[in-house]
Amino acid sequence: MMRLGGTIPVILGETSIPTTTKRPEVGVVGEGEAKPVSDVGYGVKTFKPVKMATIVVVSEEFARSNIGGTYEQISDDLAFAIARGADLLTLHGRSPLTGALVEGKEYVNQTSNRVILGSTPQEEGGISGDLVAGYELVVNDDTSDEFTGFAADSRLRPQLIGATDRNGRPLLQTATNLADRMDTVLGLPTAYSRAVSGRIGANPDSSVRAFGGDWSLVRWGFAEEMVIKVSTEATVMIDGQLVSLWQHNLVGLLVEATFGWAIGNVDAFAAYETAGS
């Protein structure tokens, strides 16, 4: 989401953002003629942020030795966990730790526009035809949504490499670089993330391999930026028991952030799923 969506200021309480329900149109007028009046409509979408947090406990001996920089790596892993959690919440509305649905939240996979990958015969374009079918579902909708890019699971990438459209042109329009988290597919920016399929933490694979649509309608922000706190004196619940970190020579690292998001229209997206989903 941080590569495709847009940011907005988010507060700890309810955040309201305007949404366009009807765009104005211009008319052609002659010299001295009265100017036409155009209808315009706006709505307001209100949402509350959620707090994401986790605690990691290691021994003081492990922290001091920092073998191969492993202890220092934990901080990067905690930041990565926040980013993956934000992706999973926005795309699937679920908590990574438990896989439970977060009540009352919109998410991209609520879209009614679904395309089964492999449903287009190879002679009619194959995966290229599948991607175009989702594009048509979005842009042919009466809401006049745009199609600005794709978010794809990394497992879809091998199918895109070497794939062509009906005219023999490659779908991937950038040099193949598996280390790059962004591509250009059919001329549109494409970001890769495991969160697209939902395969994060305790949350199972949803069989979705890509979402495509109007990412300008996804707005996100942090009401409280990510912080990492370290303690050797706190008491932490471990395996159902309260454990004193000081008494057991342990170090606890807590990461937390308060994150909010809004989606202007979930049907401004198409979900691309595997067969049998």
Q: Are 17 and 229 in contact (CB under 8 A)?
A: no
The DSSP annotation for 47-78 comes to E--EEEEEEEEEEHHHHHH-GGGHHHHHHHHH
Among residues 102, 86, 105, 106, which one has the least CA distance to residue 94? Answer: 102
Residues above pLDDT 90, as percent of the chain? 59
Q: Is a pLDDT exceeding 60 seen at residue 256?
A: yes
Give me the domains of the chain, ranges plus CATH numbers. 6-22+39-273 (3.90.1690)
Q: Is a pLDDT exceeding 80 seen at residue 234?
A: yes
pTM: 0.85
Instruction: Calculate mean pLDDT across residues 89-103.
Output: 94
Q: Is a pLDDT exceeding 80 seen at residue 177?
A: no
pLDDT at 38: 87
Which of the four pLDDT bands, split at 50, 70 and 90, describes residue 197?
Answer: very high
